[in-house]
Amino acid sequence: MKHFAQDPKIRLWGGISLAFLILLFYFTFLFGMPSLSSIQTNFKESSIIYDKEGGQLYTFYGGDENRQYVPYDQINIRMTQAIVAMEDQRFFSNIGFDFFGIARSAITCAMGGQCGGGSSLSQQLIKNTILSNERTWKRKIRELILALQLNVQYSKEKILELYLNKISFGGNSYGIEQASRRFFGKTAKDITILESAILASLPKSPTAFNPYTNRDRLMGYVYYTEKKESGADEEKQIDMISAPQSFELFKKSFAQIVWKTDGGSLEACGLDAFELKSPYKKDSDKCEKISKTELMEFLNSLQIKTSPNETGVATTLEYQAGRKDRVLMRMLEDGYISDVEYGAAVSEGIGFVFADPKESIRYAHFVFYVREYLVNIFGEEIFEQGGLKIYTTLDPKLQDKAQEIIDSYAKTTFKSYGINNGALVSLDTKTRDIVAMVGSQDYSNKEIDGEVNIITSLKQPGSSMKPLIYARAFETNNLSTDTPIFDVEQDF
């Protein structure tokens, strides 16, 4: 009896089947696949926001109009270390994609967690420059093949150069050089460890971590809780402007922390001014040993408690870590920075001041409100690189009138009541369209946190709720013009 592998018919059909599978794979995944050579020339189209009358408010560039390409040797080594630590820890050893990252992402997705997040830097570069953003197996297979091909044809340094020059850092800042100049007023070659960590925080979601509109998510912040002898605790976020003495107290105390490596962990000493939340506890030398992977939790455990003042108010100062703190933690964990460099960078980040945006932008708060709204629907990539033409309901005449009103009140009424800022939003009562939005009196005024959109911020409603409540009371006959209302304190 012949062995089945020696049977001519079986061998023939086996060869035909193999050839068919090869052809199927080729025509499904390889045929028509874009050339890798276009990776250095392929730019996306910009998206434009218009007002109600067709006037252009702002252009979010997807092209090269606002990009300055710089070679690898003109990018600070700390920046490449920060982006590798945060986005692709095994970049220098993988073949273009990370088996461990893909497996971890698949398991997380299968268990009901967030899908995605396993892409290497090479894959991200391929996706953002050559392929589309569609989520299909065909595109993913092509992405892996091209990422492998990329690592065969280019050095790791060249891939990092291409990546850092292509990606968006938010707004119109495409590429590392433009981002460095916009946020810090310096070249990519001159940025510090902290500034590198800040920039490495942005590609994940430039809108969510925008230094000007969502600073707290990016940089972290200090906040305090006032504990009064009579009444509930009141928690407030503080900065150098709203509470300079408390802020400087925390910053000065934090700068006195001494960080040093102790084996595989880290030791923080000089914690005299701080109390620590559980499970952390200072030893007799005012030190605490922590794992390098627990640094975010440790920073959030730091507290400074003050004694009650003459009015019986005691204060607790605390730190809330931001995304840049996670990048610094990863850089320390991977050995890119020392314990001393880590401590100095975190301390420098408290109260860090960004350069003023140099771009000319009309109605900034409304523009960024629209941007954030659309990014939540379409995602960062489609919004910034999809060539969208966005026509809004904003009426420029009413917008200018609204700004005029706020400016007028700022010079008169606001001052008499000790108010330093104001905002206004106007809606069409029939269509519910936003026709005017002034997020603050002056977007570029740092002293009043002008970049913050007060309209969308979580603020106490105060007396603004009274007309709505009283109107409902009148409608339901629970209140009338004859109902007495006593102006006395109520304790609920």
Q: Are 269 and 287 in contact (CB under 8 A)?
A: yes
CA distances, 86 to each of 26, 89, 193 (Å): 35, 7, 14
H helices then E strands: how many in the chain?
A: 18, 13
Collapsing DSSP to helix, strand or coil, 431 comes out as: coil
**pLDDT the model gives residue 254:** 92
**pLDDT the model gives residue 336:** 94
What are the structure tokens assigned to 362, written together?
């009309």
CA distance 44 to 381: 10
Q: Which residues of the chain have pLDDT under 70?
A: 1-35, 37-38, 40-46, 61-67, 96-118, 131-140, 228-235, 239-242, 357-360, 385
CA distance 39 to 162: 8
End-to-end alpha-carbon separation of the chain, Å?
A: 95
Question: Which class for 378: exposed (0-12), middle (13-18), buried (19 or more C-beta within 10 A)?
Answer: middle
Q: What is the DSSP-derived secondary structure letter of residue 465?
A: G
What are the structure tokens assigned to 457, written together?
């911020």
Q: What is the DSSP-derived secondary structure letter of residue 26?
A: I
Sequence-distant (≥ 6) Cβ neighbours of residue 207 within 8 angstroms? 170, 213, 214, 371, 372, 375, 380
Q: Are 442 and 452 in contact (CB under 8 A)?
A: no
Q: Are 182 and 352 in contact (CB under 8 A)?
A: no
CA distance 393 to 436: 9
Q: What is the pairing mode between strands 424-427 and 258-262?
A: unpaired
Sequence-distant (≥ 6) Cβ neighbours of residue 198 within 8 angstroms? 183, 211, 218, 219, 324, 327, 349, 352
Helices (H), 88-190: 99-110, 121-129, 137-153, 156-166, 176-184
**pLDDT the model gives residue 435:** 93
CA distance 346 to 328: 8
Handedness of CA 345, 348, 352, 357 (dihedral sign): negative
Collapsing DSSP to helix, strand or coil, 414 comes out as: helix
What are the structure tokens assigned to 403, written together?
């700004």
Size (the chain), residues: 492
CA distance 354 to 449: 12
**pLDDT the model gives residue 440:** 86
Note if the pTM is more than 0.85: no
Per-residue pLDDT tens for 302-329? 999 877 777 777 788 899 999 999 999 9
Query: DSSP letters along 28-81, please?
Result: IIITTPPPGGGGGT--PBPEEEE-TTS-EEEEE--SSTT-----GGGS-HHHHH
- CA-nearest of 138, 159, 86 to 117 is 86
- CA-nearest of 135, 123, 141 to 31 is 141
Residue type, 53: E
Collapsing DSSP to helix, strand or coil, 314 comes out as: strand
Beta bridge pairs of residue 223 = 237, 318
CA distance 406 to 442: 9
CA distance 196 to 179: 11
Per-residue pLDDT tens for 175-233? 898 889 889 989 999 999 999 999 999 988 888 899 988 888 999 988 888 776 666 66
